[in-house]
Amino acid sequence: MVRHDYGLSDELKMLQSTVRKFIKNEIIPEEQKEDPDAIELPEEVVSRLQEKTRSMGMYQPSAPEEYGGAGLDFFSNTIFMEEVSKHRQGLYNAGCGAFGHPINPILYAGTEAQKEKYLKPCVQAAMRGCFAITEPSGGSDPARAIRTRAKKTDKGWLINGNKIWISHAKVADFVTVFVRTDDGPIGIRGEITCFIVETGTPGYSISNPIPVIRPEAPYELIFEDCLVSEEQMLGKRGGGFDLLKSLLTQNRIPYAGQCVGVAQESLEMAIEYSKIRETFGKPLAQRQAVQWMLADSAVELHAARLVVYNAARVRAENKPFDIESSMAKLMASEVAMNVVDRAIQIHGGMGLAKELPLERWYRELRTRRIGEGPSEVHRMVISRELLS
């Protein structure tokens, strides 16, 4: 296979190597002790692994040093996310929490009091949060689809409505929820505002899990006269859509990096298997049909990685990156699906077995063509730019 260094510095190559070894030596052996569809490692195992990453200076790599993180820049964090995803749970729970649980970047927009109460505990693994935008009415156009409302009262803000397809809700200590704070009619772009709602707040409840194609089930959140104080507003009133747009656009790039990481691991598995698996007296590697599948996967993966790295570099340089983000998410999610599908085909029956991670990656990747914006929406965004 052709090797490329993609212009990475020696420091970034060392980061890749360090994370790769940690995943291979620390994460994968622990995963193999659990059910193939497990969504987390035991709490005591995660705590032990977090102590190791703290000692390595790799705990919460993307969080600023002032909050207790490693302070990686955006491009370096994208490289990190590519490597840390190369294990069975990697597309749902990258690193299994060993490097710290994901932190919603929107919390950095909070007040100092909010950062002290929510952000810092999340960095230190004392709290976990979840993020709620999508509603039963839709999710691709949140400014119009959001129908959950918050009404101003003498005691604070009264929230009523529902959110759906919300991941991590059962383990979250709080949710950042986007609601309408105007009185305009449903179906038009309204005033969107973000609130922090703590689990256990009267009027806030979580449904039973909603079974889906992937192992981790999302939830529906119900708000019935859920009263929160003015201090729970994150950002300014009506500023939620700007926060939301910035957050989603940015998150799509490391999200795409995860797809590239799993695709790379799948391709390497397919290459190795094709060398040892024989059919009709010859290794699969000598069959042209298999050779072409490997070649197509290598070409597509190389192109996807270039697109993702370019988007990460543009974002790291603080340049406009909307189109680059959409290109990265669109291409990486679809290429990864193709690469994993071919890897399963090359493995034959073993590719479908839960003994290998391929079938789980396939299911996880199917959700990624919808999550963080469906492929069709990103094609719309890109074409709109081309035609403007």
Q: What is the DSSP string of 278-343?
A: EETTEEGGG-HHHHHHHHHHHHHHHHHHHHHHHHHHHHHTT---HHHHHHHHHHHHHHHHHHHHHH
- The fold of 129-234 is Butyryl-CoA Dehydrogenase, subunit A; domain 2 (2.40.110)
Average pLDDT of span 257-267: 98
239 burial level (CB within 10 Å; 0-12, 13-18, 19+): middle
Band of residue 3 on the pLDDT scale cut at 50, 70, 90: low
pLDDT tens column, 141-168: 777 789 999 999 999 999 999 999 999 9
Average pLDDT of span 332-337: 98
- The fold of 10-103 is Butyryl-Coa Dehydrogenase, subunit A; domain 1 (1.10.540)
* Side-chain half-sphere exposure of 155, counting CA atoms within 13 A: 6
Q: Which stretch of 23-27, 239-243, 267-271, 321-325 has the lowest confidence by average pLDDT?
A: 239-243
- Share above pLDDT 90 across residues of the chain, in percent, rounded to a whole number: 85
Among candidates 351, 340, 349, which has minimal Cα distance to 266?
Answer: 340
Q: Which amino acid is at 131?
A: F
pLDDT tens column, 270-294: 999 999 999 999 999 999 999 999 9
Task: Round the average pLDDT of the chain to a whole number and report it.
Answer: 93
Strand partners, 135: 138
Q: Which residues contact 77 (CB under 8 A, 6 or more apart)?
A: 61, 62, 254
Q: Which stretch of 137-141, 143-147, 201-205, 256-260 has the lowest confidence by average pLDDT?
A: 137-141
Q: Which stretch of 126-140, 176-190, 249-263, 313-327 has the lowest confidence by average pLDDT?
A: 176-190
Question: For residue 247, what pLDDT is reported?
Answer: 78
pLDDT tens column, 103-122: 888 899 999 999 999 999 99
Average pLDDT of span 64-68: 89
Catalytic-residue membership of 372? yes
Question: For residue 139, what pLDDT is reported?
Answer: 67
Per annotation, catalytic residue among 112, 372, 376, 385: 372
Parse the chain into domains and list their residue ranges.
Answer: 10-103, 129-234, 242-387
Q: CA–CA separation, 144 vs 32, rounded Å?
A: 44
Q: Which residues contact 276 (CB under 8 A, 6 or more apart)?
A: 283
- Share above pLDDT 70 across residues of the chain, in percent, rounded to a whole number: 98
Say which CATH superfamily domain 242-387 falls into.
Butyryl-CoA Dehydrogenase, subunit A, domain 3 (1.20.140.10)
Question: For residue 285, what pLDDT is reported?
Answer: 95
Among candidates 129, 11, 7, 131, which has minimal Cα distance to 70?
Answer: 11
**φ, ψ for residue 343, nearest 5 deg:** -65, -40
pTM for this predicted structure:
0.93
Question: For residue 155, what pLDDT is reported?
Answer: 93
Cβ proximity of 114 and 290 under 8 Å: no
Band of residue 188 on the pLDDT scale cut at 50, 70, 90: low
pLDDT tens column, 203-248: 999 999 999 999 999 999 999 999 999 999 999 999 988 888 877 7
